[in-house]
Structure 1
């Protein structure tokens, strides 16, 4: 039964159109369950539409529609559970549609197809004889529906996007607010294996194109193979080795070449050979040989990508685009030409991944978790990204584009209004001074950012320069970078965090493969395991800070007191080495830890005896307190920094630090959000660090609120049940203060 489920799922998922997928589904399911009829209804605008059938009248497909409140199919969708009847005609919700010719069927089993709490459609099996479908049959159909939900939803969206005259709306999660209008630039999208059959005029030219493409493909696969060889992952490495062998003259590579010699263009040749062999392997009975069809498809798509988009990152100058990709890492965004990046849309990644944080730092609108996007044909189509609402519009109407251009103009006007006060200190109506610091990572632009109103750098992410290298930077290279950052701050405080890689921040030259990287080898854990790297970084920081008091050092991902003690011992060692070898006047900087592992919330008394300050990383602290992977779009709705439990933890941490005379600040994303900033200030946080794009807005907001009002607001917020209620409460407060537009 498992093999049957897998075969049906793979066949549906590999289909290139919704119509084909549903036809495969009904015929395969009918055969597997040995029933007389199988049909699929797809939900469209709150109506269930008969979309494929094997057993009912074919002419009824697309014509029969029913609201959720009607019929047994509607009952399954409405209740979101299976409906299993021995004789459907006896049920009061039974409704006969004469055009489908189903009067002969009595036994009825309908199962809803649900994806992320939303009904996508219903799959139905029927038989003429009156009998109850067994528990095993019902379980099989439910399992099949669950496995196929994502694929059917994705194919449905793809079918919609293929219609050039229909505006399509995709929903994701806002990662960096703002609006962008530009054409799509799909990086790493699906290359269709079904290329048109086109005869070539120059066989030699096409042969050379094919050879060059296969050569690049071999190099790319070889690099992957070597990487996994180094990691001693033999199973994965063997997959890439097998793909390389398929490119040999004695295998598919030779078949591609012979097809070109028969007069076909290179793309057509690869497509024709691949489809021919895939069909042959799928027809085989042996399960192992049948699986090899996926290898042929994979290789064909890799070669086609080298033929179709070999140098995809070479963009036309002065043409901003919206980057559409499966998952954007920090390195990709850092290397992408900023002037050409209008927006970012990804299938994977969470709103607090470091790629999303970098997008906010760059001021680029970004949406994550837009599933099945790469399977849609949207490359070079006009897009509107409304990142504030997590919406992506494909091929919008001129009226929609005009409306959003007006919104962009209005937002720019608000930004200019905020910027007019940026040089003024952040002082609340009751005279309380709030220090606003900058979160920074990229060296470029730091000087101008600091000049625009920040009280200093509250978090300098040293891992970003590491990510942009092809090796670990040397001590002298690090000293130079850190000196430039300190110089750009013009005497104002700078907090430098030691190397924080792992999790969603891999180094290309130091890959870390873990099942659960966010609970794994990252932050201070990695540094302490590699003292040779840690000491180099500490010496570089100390030399850059030299004799001044400008520098503070921050230790990430601290989960126990021993880690603090070990790190302090290495810092002392680095200091002694420099005093002996370089400069005896080098001062010890202030030392702090990131407060992001929940256990440390309960040891602040001991922390205060060891370090000078703590800086709250609200992103990871929220992730660990709520047990939610902040990069996983499937649970992104559960990641909520406004959860009353999170707010209470932040409030208690501030009170405990005050009691133990421990300086506390916050550098997580919450500090740069208007709602978050006023709640944090109400708790007593007087040092907020944020991305440059948030500084003017937060400064403008805090200059118009008073501590007394915020204290009452906080008391109400901490007594609420969930994050939604908290946000509604704060929104109501901002509305009463005439400040609600600051949320746009």
Structure 2
């Protein structure tokens, strides 16, 4: 039975279109259950449409339609549960459709096809003799429907976007907020590293093609290096430099040439060399060497793209595009001049993927986890990307495009309005000052007018320079990066978080494979297990800070007091060594911990004896409190920082920190959301750190509200039923204040 399930599922998933898949499905189900009739009804708006059958009148396909309030098929859809009847005619909801020629059938078994709470259709099997289908047959059909749901949804969406005249909506996870309107450019899903082995008709011609492709690839990488070098993003430059070196004749570039000289076409040569080295590297024990296979794959695909579709990235300068790809790596994203890239949509990747990080740094709207988008034929179609709401609209109507263009113009006007006050203090109408900081990881995020308006850096993610390297950065390399951070921030405080990798933030050269990475070896746990790396990072931070008072050091993912004690021992060791050997006047920075593991709240009395401050990571804290992986599209809708339980926890954390004399701030996404900033400040939080794109908006908002009114709202929010009610409460309040547009 398991083999049958697998075979049917694989066959449907590989079908070219929805109609072919459904025709195949009814035949295979009929054979598997050994019944006389199998039919599938697909939900189209509010109607169930007979879409495929093996046993009913073929001419009825597409013509038999019913609402979910009609017939037994409608009842299955209405109840969203299976119905198994020995004689369907005896049921009060039985309805005969003469055009389907189903008079002879008595036995009836139907199950719904449901994907993420959304009804897609109904599978029905029927038999002439009156008999109850067995529990095994019912279980088989229910299992099959569950397994097929994703494939059917994808094929249904693909069918919906074949014509330009019909609008279709995709959902995803917001990685970088914003709105964009442009044509889609689909990349990355159609070029495989596995190319056919084809002999060269003319070796000289193939060598010329290869040389041209490699030269173009080298020029692209060189241009990118120069671009990001000018923007002082040495972390990103290191990626392009490493790939460029691989193109040398003494490296992979020479291997490509030799493969062509042996008689293979340029495409086959790239494929053969790349796959050969990838296999060799992946078979090695050393994790760093094993992970270098990703560089070889990345480079091979880039050169192949120059061979197979060299003009794909040659875009009209006046027509920006929205990039749609499986998983955008940093170099693919950076290949587009900023003026030509309006937004990013990926099937895979999380909110902390390389593409998402760079998208936020560049101020681009980005959506991740948009399932089945590559299979939906949206290339060159007009799309509207509303990353703020997690939506991608394909072939929108003229009216929808017009509405979003108006929204974009209004948003730009509002942003200009916000920026006029960004240098003024975030102080409420009744005199309460809230300090606004920015979260950063790329140096380019600090060199802007927005960053100048911040009170400092509330979270510097040191893992991002690590993630953009091909190896662990040395002490001197880290000193250089951290020194630039302090220089750009110009005397204001900088909270530097020690290396926080694992979970959704792996290092390419230090892979961590775990069944449950968010509860695994990450953050301070990894640092303490590798003191040689931890000490180097602490030493680099201290030396970059020198005699100034800018630096504050923050430990991530702390779950117990022992971790703090061990970290402080290493910190003291590094500090005393540097004070003795390098700088006798070395400043001793404040030390803090992230509050993201819920249990730490109940040991804040002990925490206060050891550190100076606490920074609440609302993202991880929320997913741990609610047991929801925010990067998992199947459950991400349950991730809600406005859940009353989360709000009560945040209020308790503040009160306990005040009781024990601990400084406290919030550095998660919630701090940069208008509703979140209002609730947090009402609780008493006076330090909020956010992505720089939110800074001007939050500053503008805080200068137009009263703290006493916010505190009254907070009391209502804490006693509400769910996060949706809390957001509605804040929406109504902002509407009354004439500030509703700030939520867009």
Aligned to 2:11: 11
1: CA distance, partners of 2:553 / 2:151: 48
Aligned to 1:414: 414
- What is the aligned counterpart of 1:230 among 267, 279, 284? 284
Report if the CA contact (8 A) 2:475-2:539 is conserved: yes
Within-5 A mapping of 1:569-608: 569-608=569-608
Aligned to 2:685: 685
Aligned to 1:282: none
Which whole-Å deviations, capped at 9, do the CAs of 1:26-68 have from their partners, x for residues lacking one? Answer: 0000001101111111111111111111111111111111111
Which whole-Å deviations, capped at 9, do the CAs of 1:336-388 have from their partners, x for residues lacking one? Answer: 65444311222234557785465445432222332211111122322211223
Within-5 A mapping of 1:109-508: 109-190=109-190, 211-230=265-284, 308-309=308-309, 320-328=320-328, 337-350=337-350, 356=356, 359-449=359-449, 452-508=452-508
2: CA distance, partners of 1:68 / 1:183: 37
2: CA distance, partners of 1:148 / 1:56: 22
Aligned to 2:241: none
1: CA distance, partners of 2:277 / 2:186: 23
CA separation of 1:111 and 1:656: change in aligned 2, threshold 3 A = same
User: Alignment partner of 1:162: what SS?
Assistant: coil
Aligned to 1:51: 51
User: Alignment partner of 2:161: what SS?
Assistant: helix
2: CA distance, partners of 1:91 / 1:70: 12
2: CA distance, partners of 1:478 / 1:706: 43
Aligned to 1:35: 35
Could you tell me which runs of 5 or more consecutive residues in structure 2 were left unpaired when the two chains were aligned.
211-263
CA separation of 1:637 and 1:104: change in aligned 2, threshold 3 A = same
Could you tell me which runs of 5 or more consecutive residues in structure 1 were left unpaired when the two chains were aligned.
245-300
2: CA distance, partners of 1:305 / 1:354: 21
2: CA distance, partners of 1:71 / 1:179: 43
Aligned to 2:563: 563
User: Alignment partner of 1:39: what SS?
Assistant: strand
User: Alignment partner of 2:572: what SS?
Assistant: helix
Within-5 A mapping of 1:493-572: 493-572=493-572
Greater alpha carbon shift after TM alignment, 314-323 vs 125-134: 314-323
1: CA distance, partners of 2:582 / 2:340: 44
Report if the CA contact (8 A) 2:361-2:444 is conserved: no
User: Alignment partner of 2:676: what SS?
Assistant: helix
Report if the CA contact (8 A) 2:361-2:442 is conserved: no
Report if the CA contact (8 A) 2:206-2:266 is conserved: no
Within-5 A mapping of 1:566-715: 566-715=566-715
The Cα of 1:170 is off from its aligned counterpart by: 1.9
Question: Number of residues paired by the alignment?
Answer: 677
Aligned to 1:273: none
CA separation of 1:411 and 1:541: change in aligned 2, threshold 3 A = same
Report if the CA contact (8 A) 1:353-1:630 is conserved: no
2: CA distance, partners of 1:171 / 1:481: 37
CA separation of 1:679 and 1:227: change in aligned 2, threshold 3 A = farther
User: Alignment partner of 1:513: what SS?
Assistant: coil
1: CA distance, partners of 2:419 / 2:498: 32
CA separation of 1:172 and 1:651: change in aligned 2, threshold 3 A = same
CA separation of 1:717 and 1:657: change in aligned 2, threshold 3 A = same
2: CA distance, partners of 1:600 / 1:500: 18
Which whole-Å deviations, capped at 9, do the CAs of 1:633-678 have from their partners, x for residues lacking one? Answer: 1001110000111111110000000000000011111000000000
1: CA distance, partners of 2:398 / 2:205: 42
Aligned to 2:257: none
The Cα of 1:180 is off from its aligned counterpart by: 0.2
CA separation of 1:348 and 1:563: change in aligned 2, threshold 3 A = same
User: Alignment partner of 1:444: what SS?
Assistant: helix
Aligned to 2:76: 76
2: CA distance, partners of 1:81 / 1:29: 19
CA separation of 1:3 and 1:420: change in aligned 2, threshold 3 A = same
Within-5 A mapping of 1:728-743: 728-743=728-743
CA separation of 1:202 and 1:215: change in aligned 2, threshold 3 A = closer
1: CA distance, partners of 2:600 / 2:337: 40
CA separation of 1:226 and 1:725: change in aligned 2, threshold 3 A = farther
Report if the CA contact (8 A) 1:475-1:539 is conserved: yes
